[in-house]
């Protein structure tokens, strides 16, 4: 067999050694954790299963360091250089397993993520029946630090449980509880709402804890007689679920990562910049209601059909006229629609010649002449100025004027302003007599 100096020998680890006999570089577990393969504990498990190799040589121990230029593979895929730490908020729905691969073939969280994301791992887990906030990151060291109970990161949940309890009973969980030999730390539980039903009460409880052990909330509440049928994680540390929709993912800004989690990230792995690299596609708007990835529907170009009136709909509004009709007198009935313009002729009346003046109707003068009970001669016009010809006898019809009434000619009325023409009668009893 010809010796190939570039091919690693069976007793060669594929790495150069220092002067003191130890290889330089970075430990493989730490490097893969920074690259987002998993936490250090996960990487050690992968190495024990023989799934990690360096320069083509399968590793059987994590006590190996990676030199610059070495090729590291996991399951035959080359692992890229570590990227700056990134953190994502994900609203996990019910029915997804928090795992990359499920042996039972159930849908997983990472297969449901959209494209364009780096290799991510979860910070803690949510079981298949739980929902809410799940943090994802590409930094295994950050994920491990946030998971550890010693870090004391606060987790806040909202649980809907079936059963009956009191706030005093929930306060006993603040001292910690042991369930089936497992010791759980202090838990703060607050009874938010209780609704009685035929088979018991449905309760909403806000639970705050610091450990996050496997199924901790469910087991602790079961120890006091409550069965949890819905569990929502509201917050993890300084990050909250907020208004993030179910199944949506959003990257935390680099500035927030530096301010809140710098103590858990290697200085060389801290993110830079101010804006996140991954941006969510804009949601559909009113102007473009077509969802992304679907074909737009062709809208009809013809006139829109009027929908038939259905019972219960709002009645059409009454049209308002620009000029309302004049109000009729009390007791008078309108004979038809009011229009503006010349009045129609009465039945049997002849049209008036052009240029003729309107004659005042009888009994409509200012003085009330012609009305029943009016004084004789009232309303006669006052003549001023010199007159020519013989004087016209009182009560004779005037040329072109109205004909005398059935009672004969009207007596001449004295002008109002002439006090001598007024008849004098006896004065009122006890009063002054007439003047003059």
Q: Which residues are catalytic?
A: 127
Hey, what's the torsion of the CAs at 173, 175, 181, 182, to 10 degrees? 80
* Strands of 316-389, DSSP E: none
Residue 398 to residue 384: CA distance in whole angstroms: 17
Q: Which residues pair with 184 in a beta bridge?
A: 177
Half-sphere exposure of 436 (CA within 13 A, CB side): 6
Whether the CB-CB separation of 67 and 26 falls below 8 Å is answered with no
CB atoms within 10 A of CB 273: 11
Residue 53 to residue 147: CA distance in whole angstroms: 27
Token code pair at residue 2? 């010809």
Residue 32 to residue 27: CA distance in whole angstroms: 9
The CA-CA-CA angle for residues 12, 15, 17, to 5°, reads 100
DSSP β-ladder status, 57-58 and 52-54: antiparallel
Whether the CB-CB separation of 157 and 132 falls below 8 Å is answered with yes
Token code pair at residue 375? 């004084």
Long-range contacts of 199-205 (CB under 8 A, 24+ apart): 200/162, 200/163, 200/164, 201/162, 201/163, 201/164, 202/160, 202/161, 202/162, 203/160, 203/161, 203/162, 203/163, 203/164, 203/165, 204/158, 204/159, 204/160, 205/158, 205/159, 205/160, 205/161, 205/170
Residue 86 to residue 254: CA distance in whole angstroms: 7
Hey, what's the torsion of the CAs at 309, 315, 319, 325, to 10 degrees? 130
């Amino acid at each position: 067999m010809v010796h190939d100096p570039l091919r690693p020998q069976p007793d060669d680890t594929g790495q150069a050694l220092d002067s003191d006999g130890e290889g330089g570089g970075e430990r493989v577990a730490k490097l893969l954790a920074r690259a987002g393969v998993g936490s250090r504990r996960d990487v050690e498990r992968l190495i024990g299963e023989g799934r990690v190799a360096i320069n083509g040589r399968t590793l059987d121990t994590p006590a190996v360091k990676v030199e610059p230029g070495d090729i590291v593979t996991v399951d035959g895929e080359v692992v890229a250089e570590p990227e700056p730490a990134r953190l994502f908020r994900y609203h996990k729905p019910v029915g997804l397993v928090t795992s990359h691969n499920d042996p039972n073939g159930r849908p997983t969280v990472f297969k449901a993520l959209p494209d364009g994301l780096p290799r991510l791992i979860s910070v803690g887990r949510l079981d298949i029946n739980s929902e809410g906030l799940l943090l994802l990151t590409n930094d295994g060291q950050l994920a491990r630090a946030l998971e550890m109970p010693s870090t004391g990161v606060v987790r806040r949940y909202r649980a809907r449980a079936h059963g009956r309890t009191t706030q005093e009973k929930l306060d006993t969980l603040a001292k910690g509880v042991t369930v089936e030999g497992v010791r759980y730390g202090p838990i703060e539980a607050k009874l938010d709402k209780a609704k009685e039903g035929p088979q018991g009460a449905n309760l909403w409880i806000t639970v705050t804890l610091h450990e996050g052990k496997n199924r901790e909330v469910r087991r602790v509440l079961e120890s006091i007689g409550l069965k949890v049928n819905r569990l929502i994680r509201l917050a993890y540390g300084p990050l909250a679920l907020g208004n993030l929709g179910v199944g949506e993912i959003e990257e935390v800004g680099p500035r927030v990562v530096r301010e809140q989690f710098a103590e858990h990230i290697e200085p060389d792995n801290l993110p830079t910049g101010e804006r996140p690299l991954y941006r969510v596609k804009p949601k559909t708007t009113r102007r473009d209601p077509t969802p992304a990835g679907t074909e737009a529907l062709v809208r009809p170009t013809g006139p829109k059909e009027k929908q038939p009136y259905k019972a219960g709909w709002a009645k059409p509004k009454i049209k308002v006229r620009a000029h309302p009709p004049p109000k009729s007198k009390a007791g008078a009935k309108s004979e038809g629609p009011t229009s503006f313009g010349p009045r129609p002729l009465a039945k049997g009346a002849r049209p008036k010649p052009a240029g003729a003046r309107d004659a005042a109707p009888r009994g409509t003068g200012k003085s009330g002449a012609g009305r029943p009970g009016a004084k004789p001669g009232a309303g006669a016009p006052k003549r001023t100025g010199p007159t020519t010809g013989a004087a016209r006898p009182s009560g004779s019809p005037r040329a072109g004027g109205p004909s005398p009434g059935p009672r004969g000619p009207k007596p001449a009325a004295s002008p109002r302003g002439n006090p001598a023409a007024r008849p004098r009668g006896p004065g009122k009893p006890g009063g002054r007599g007439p003047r003059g």
